[in-house]
Amino acid sequence: MTYQTILYKETGSIADVILNRPEKRNALNDVMMKEIIAVFSEISTNKSMRVVVLSGAGSNFCSGMDLDYLQKISKYDLEQNKADSQNFKNMLLAIYGCSKPVIAKVSGYALAGGCGIATCCDMIIADETAKFGYPEVKIGFIPAIVMPFLLKRISETHAKDLMLTARVINADEALRMEMINAITTKDALDDKVNEFCTLFKNNSLYSISLTKELLRKISGVNYEYALEYASELNAETRMTEDFKQGIENFINKRKNK
């Protein structure tokens, strides 16, 4: 597909999705949101792709909603705003629900909806220039749709700090809050991301997909239901060729020691 606001490339089994509005700090608009939904839907069903790296062109990840777009939606009626909110929600779910592991590679600003996009990813690797924050309350808005994804990563105490003060934090503080997984230098960011890509590629893609599904389904549900659902997936996994081959390889390795 040809995209207006993102770049997409495949390097071996790695899918690179690059938010491509650098002159706007990769700010979101309706076109970009629809294109993100489309590309992640495609990647989820692409059997040759094993890992996704999501980044921003230029020196920023994503600064949130485009100012022109914010002015546009401020004039929407209720039904138009509901539809637009659904579009934003569907974008976040397309990333979060992707069957492949997704790494956010963050430089510069990841603010508001941009920070929400990062928290939807399975891992966030940031360099020392990264800045994270939720400034919505400064403009009379609320960080509503991004909130559930943030609360999956950090405590309510830290979430209140970020969302009620609207302050912007650096990568070191984001790591202390456990929002992100790792920090590196700007020059070493690609290498650090590739390290994690290699770890993912060495594992069973089917098992990763089921593990992601399990994490989505059992969070916040009844304990007995979670165990029952986990047992069903466990039994299903045992029937796969990946599992049978993995057990055989493990046993042979133990025998040869």
For residues 44 and 156, what is the distance between their CA atoms, to the nearest angstrom?
31
- Spell out the residues 6+ positions from residue 137 whose beta carbon is closer than 8 angstroms to its own: 143, 163, 164, 166
Q: Are 139 and 119 in contact (CB under 8 A)?
A: no
Q: Measuring CA to CA, how many Å separate 63 from each of 116, 141, 244?
A: 10, 15, 45
Q: Which of 136, 213, 224, 228 is catalytic?
A: 136
Identity of the amino acid at 123: M
pLDDT of residue 25 exceeding 80, the answer is yes
What confidence tens digit (pLDDT) does each residue in 63-120 have? 999 988 888 888 888 888 888 889 999 999 999 999 999 999 999 999 999 999 999 9
Q: Active-site residue 173, yes or no?
A: no
DSSP alpha helices (H): ranges in the chain?
Answer: 30-45, 67-73, 78-96, 113-120, 147-151, 156-165, 171-176, 189-201, 205-218, 223-237, 241-255
125 pLDDT band (50/70/90 cuts)? very high
Phi, psi of 132 (to 5 degrees): -125, 145
Q: What's the confidence (pLDDT) of residue 60? A: 98
Q: What is the pLDDT of residue 221?
A: 66
| Domains along the chain with CATH numbers | 6-201 (3.90.226.10), 205-255 (1.10.12)
pTM of the model as a whole: 0.89
User: What pLDDT is recorded for position 195?
Assistant: 96
> pLDDT confidence of 226, banded at 50, 70, 90?
low
Residue 254 is predicted with a pLDDT of 66
Residue pair 9/1 in contact (Cβ under 8 Å)? The answer is no
* DSSP characters over 174-210: HHHTTSSSEEE-TTTHHHHHHHHHHHHHTS-HHHHHH
